[in-house]
Chain A
Amino acid sequence: MSDPTGENREPHRVAGFNTLELGAGLVVLALGLLVIVEARSYPWGTMRNVGPGIFPTLLGIVLSGLGLAVIAEGRLSRAIAPQVPWRAILAICAALASFAFLIDRAGAFVSIFALIFIAGVAERRFRPLMLLCVALGLCAFTAALVLGFRGIVNMDLLPGG
Chain B
Amino acid sequence: MELFDNMMLGFTTALSWSSLLACLIGVTLGTFIGVLPGVGALAGISLLMPLTFNQSPTDAIVMLAGIYYGSIYGGSTAAILLNLPGSVTSAVTCFDGYPMAQNGQAGKALAMTTLASFIGGCFSIVLMMAFAPPLVAVAQSFGSPEYFSMTILGLLAASTLSQGSPVKGIAMVVLGLIVGLVGTDIQSGVARFTFGQRELLDGISLVVLAMGLFGVSEILINFTSLQQATSRQKVDTSWKAMWPTRREWRSTSGSMARGSVIGAVIGILPGAGAAISAFIAYSVEKRVSKTPERFGKGAIEGLAASETANNSAAQAAFIPTMSLGIPGSATMALLLGALLIHGVQPGPLVIQTNPDLFWGLIASFWIGNLLLLILNLPMIGIWVRMLMIPYHILYPCILFFICLGAFSARNNPVDIFLVILFGLVGYGMKLLQLPAAPLLLGLVLGPMAEEHFRRALLLSRGDASVFVTEPISAALLGAAAIIVAMSIRASLRKRRQVKAARQAA
Which A residues are closer than 8 A to B by beta carbons? 5, 20-21, 23-24, 27-28, 31, 35, 38-39, 42-43, 46-52, 55-56, 59-60, 62-63, 66-67, 69-70, 73-74, 76-79, 81-85, 88-89, 92-93, 95-97, 99-101, 103-104, 111-112, 115-116, 119-120, 122-123, 127, 130-131, 134-135, 138, 142, 152-155
Give bound CA distance, A82 to B44, whole Å: 25
Closest A residue to B171 by CB, please name it.
A66
Is B103 part of the contact surface with A, judged by Cβ < 8 Å?
no
Answer whether A81 and B431 are a contact pair too, CB < 8 Å, given A47-B464, A93-B424.
yes
Is B291 part of the contact surface with A, judged by Cβ < 8 Å?
no
From A77, A78, A89, A116, give the contact of B427 (CB < 8 A). A89
How near does chain A come to B43, taking the closest CB pair, in angstroms? 14
Q: Please indicate the chain A residues that have their CB under 8 angstroms from the CB of B253 in the complex.
A: none
Give bound CA distance, A73 to B493, whole Å: 11
Is B373 part of the contact surface with A, judged by Cβ < 8 Å?
no
Give bound CA distance, A46 to B462, whole Å: 8
Q: Are A20 and B224 in contact (CB under 8 A)?
A: no
CB under 8 Å from chain A, chain B span 395-434: 395-397, 399-400, 402-404, 407-408, 411, 413-414, 416-417, 419-420, 423-424, 427, 431-434
Give bound CA distance, A23 to B433, whole Å: 10
Q: Are B395 and A28 in contact (CB under 8 A)?
A: no
Q: Are B178 and A119 in contact (CB under 8 A)?
A: no
Closest B residue to A154 by CB, please name it.
B411
CB under 8 Å from chain A, chain B span 332-358: none
Closest B residue to A68 by CB, please name it.
B167
Q: Mask for B108-120, Cβ within 8 A of A = 1, else 0?
A: 0000000000000
CB under 8 Å from chain A, chain B span 208-222: 216, 219-220
Give bound CA distance, A119 to B402, whole Å: 13
Name the prevailing secondary structure of the A interface residues: helix
Q: Are B395 and A153 in contact (CB under 8 A)?
A: no
Answer whether A88 and B223 are a contact pair too, CB < 8 Å, given A63-B178, A99-B403.
yes
Give bound CA distance, A69 to B492, whole Å: 12
Q: Are A55 and B450 in contact (CB under 8 A)?
A: yes
Answer whether A101 and B396 are a contact pair too, CB < 8 Å, given A55-B454, A59-B177, A76-B498.
no
Q: Please indicate the chain B residues that have their CB under 8 angstroms from the CB of A47 in the complex.
A: 457, 462-464
Q: Are A73 and B165 in contact (CB under 8 A)?
A: yes
From B188, B411, B432, give the contact of A43 (CB < 8 A). B188
Answer whether A27 and B420 are a contact pair too, CB < 8 Å, given A46-B462, A62-B174.
no
From A46, A60, A100, A127, give the contact of B413 (CB < 8 A). A100
Give bound CA distance, A82 to B472, whole Å: 46
Q: Are B165 and A70 in contact (CB under 8 A)?
A: yes
Q: Which of B399, B450, B495, B498 has the most CB of A within 10 A?
A: B399
Give bound CA distance, A20 to B432, whole Å: 6
Q: Please indicate the chain B residues that have their CB under 8 angstroms from the CB of A52 in the complex.
A: 185, 187-188, 190, 192
**28 A-B pairs, CB-CB below 8 angstroms?**
A20-B432, A24-B433, A28-B175, A35-B178, A43-B190, A46-B462, A48-B462, A50-B453, A52-B185, A55-B450, A56-B193, A63-B171, A63-B174, A66-B171, A70-B165, A70-B168, A73-B165, A73-B491, A76-B498, A84-B431, A92-B219, A96-B399, A99-B400, A100-B413, A100-B414, A100-B417, A130-B393, A153-B408
Give bound CA distance, A57 to B329, whole Å: 26
Q: Are B167 and A69 in contact (CB under 8 A)?
A: yes
Q: Please indicate the chain A residues that have their CB under 8 angstroms from the CB of B170 in the complex.
A: 66
Q: Please indicate the chain A residues that have their CB under 8 angstroms from the CB of B150 in the complex.
A: none
Q: Are A127 and B392 in contact (CB under 8 A)?
A: yes
Give bound CA distance, A100 to B424, whole Å: 16
Q: Are A122 and B462 in contact (CB under 8 A)?
A: no
Is B458 part of the contact surface with A, judged by Cβ < 8 Å?
yes
Q: Please indicate the chain B residues that have their CB under 8 angstroms from the CB of A123 in the complex.
A: 392
Q: Which of A66, A82, A84, A120 has the most CB of B within 10 A?
A: A66
From A50, A76, A88, give the contact of B495 (CB < 8 A). A76
Answer whether A99 and B416 are a contact pair too, CB < 8 Å, given A24-B168, A93-B423.
yes
Answer whether A97 and B171 are a contact pair too, CB < 8 Å, given A20-B433, A42-B192.
no
Q: Are A89 and B220 in contact (CB under 8 A)?
A: yes
Q: Mask for B166-205, Cβ within 8 A of A = 1, else 0?
A: 0110110011011001000101101011000000000000
How near does chain A come to B330, taking the closest CB pair, in angstroms? 19
Closest A residue to B424 by CB, please name it.
A93
Q: Please indicate the chain B residues that have their CB under 8 angstroms from the CB of A152 in the complex.
A: 54, 408
The 9 closest A-B pairs by CB, nearest first: A48-B462, A47-B462, A100-B416, A24-B432, A88-B223, A66-B171, A52-B185, A100-B413, A85-B223
Give bound CA distance, A97 to B392, whole Å: 20
Give bound CA distance, A119 to B220, whole Å: 11
CB under 8 Å from chain A, chain B span 126-161: none
Closest B residue to A139 by CB, please name it.
B400
Q: Are A154 and B408 in contact (CB under 8 A)?
A: yes
Q: Please indicate the chain B residues that have their CB under 8 angstroms from the CB of A119 in the complex.
A: 395-396, 399
Q: Please indicate the chain B residues that have their CB under 8 angstroms from the CB of A131 in the complex.
A: 396
Closest A residue to B461 by CB, please name it.
A48
How near does chain B come to A133, taking the closest CB pair, in angstroms? 8
From B393, B424, B454, give the contact of A50 (CB < 8 A). B454
